[in-house]
Amino acid sequence: MPDDSSTFEVLPRDLSAYRSGNTGIDYVHRFDSGVAGPHVMINALTHGNEFCGMVAACHLLDTGVRPKIGTLTVSFANVAAYESFDPADPFASRQITHNLNRIWSDDWLDGDEHSVELQRARVMRPAVAAADHILDIHSTSQDVVPFWVYPHFERNSAVANALPRPGVHLVMPRGLGSGTPLIQHGRHGHADGPGAAMVVECGQHFKQASADLAVAVTYDFLGHFGLLERAPVDTTPPRRFELLRTHVIATEAFAFTRPVVGFETFAKDALIATDGDLEIRAPCDDCTIFMPARVAIVGREGVYLTRPLD
């Protein structure tokens, strides 16, 4: 286990009190202000060991936050994976079978396969589809700077640019290339979709700073759409990166050419990793890698290859 995961500043708490909700969907809570306005969804625990979203969602529910206008939905997604957490193997509870953030296409949701994650996505589907704007809260296995991830639609860029944090944006002109995430489900995956749908990666899974950022970004997001009061904020130009390619691991021999945690840069054609006989080389100068895999698991993402936009 790497050093960055050996200390747990945030651990799971019992979520059973939030199971019933008020929508007919376990762990999904909806609050309608009775005043016209947008429907905003704050979603936590798409991955079971990403605790910062749990902290933010619990904060909203525990403190009785209610929208001034519009509708607020607060949801906990993969609670089954979350409840499987074992500090001795803290990365195993990311998922039970499927990555819940890659199966939001009609092919998966209407298909014949079955798993904990597919069942949960099918149950949550109406709640996700109903939202105008979605904040899906995540964290990273490595201790790197926080960042936004979103499809390269103007509506997403406008929201990310208007918020004060985080200051790094990973934009996806063609999606992930390895499945369909929750923020691209249905109409949210189209250029003429209803509103912003974004992932915030808040920092390392088990750090208190990640949980604190998740709460702050949640308030920023809700304030931006008018659901909560929001004081004027100063923003600075972000550092933006464009996703060029996602490499999905093909063999257990996948390995990087040197130790990496994310945000390392490579010159054009430099060797980044090997996957059996396949060489993964930088497609451009200043190629910056995101989300390098900690371990080689066949079928999961090994690395995102990006280029700086600014």
DSSP class of residue 53 equals H
Residue 236: inside a domain:
no
> What residues contact 52, with CB distance under 8 A and at least 6 apart?
10, 137, 138, 139, 202, 203, 205, 210, 211, 213, 214
Q: Are residues 216 and 277 in the same domain?
A: no
Instruction: Name the residue type at position 170.
Output: L
Q: Are residues 126 and 53 in the same domain?
A: yes
Please check the confidence at residue 167 and state whether its pLDDT lies above 80.
Answer: yes
Q: Are residues 36 and 131 in the same domain?
A: yes
Q: Are residues 184 and 250 in the same domain?
A: no
5 pLDDT band, cuts 50/70/90, is very low
Please check the confidence at residue 4 and state whether its pLDDT lies above 60.
Answer: no
Please check the confidence at residue 148 and state whether its pLDDT lies above 90.
Answer: yes
Tell which of 194, 224, 254 closes a domain.
Answer: 224
Please give the residue range of the domain that contains residue 281.
Answer: 242-308
Residue 302: inside a domain:
yes
Q: Are residues 212 and 257 in the same domain?
A: no
Q: Are residues 64 and 175 in the same domain?
A: yes
Tell which of 192, 224, 256 closes a domain.
Answer: 224
CATH, residue 126 = 3.40.630.10
Average the pLDDT over 264-281 and give the result: 98
Q: Are residues 10 and 91 in the same domain?
A: yes
Please check the confidence at residue 206 and state whether its pLDDT lies above 90.
Answer: yes
Residue 158: inside a domain:
yes
Average the pLDDT over 237-264 and give the result: 97
304 sits in which H/E element: strand 301-308
C-alpha angle with apex 224: 223 to 230, nearest 5 degrees?
40
Residue 294: inside a domain:
yes
pLDDT score at 6: 55
Tell which of 167, 190, 224 closes a domain.
Answer: 224
Q: Are residues 69 and 194 in the same domain?
A: yes
**Sheet strands (E) in 103-217:** 133-140, 147-151, 168-172, 197-204
The total of structural domains in the chain comes to 2
Q: Are residues 190 and 43 in the same domain?
A: yes
Q: Which long-range contacts (CB under 8 A, 24 or more apart) does 58-64 make?
A: 58/13, 58/15, 58/18, 59/215, 59/218, 60/218, 61/18, 61/29
Q: Are residues 21 and 125 in the same domain?
A: yes
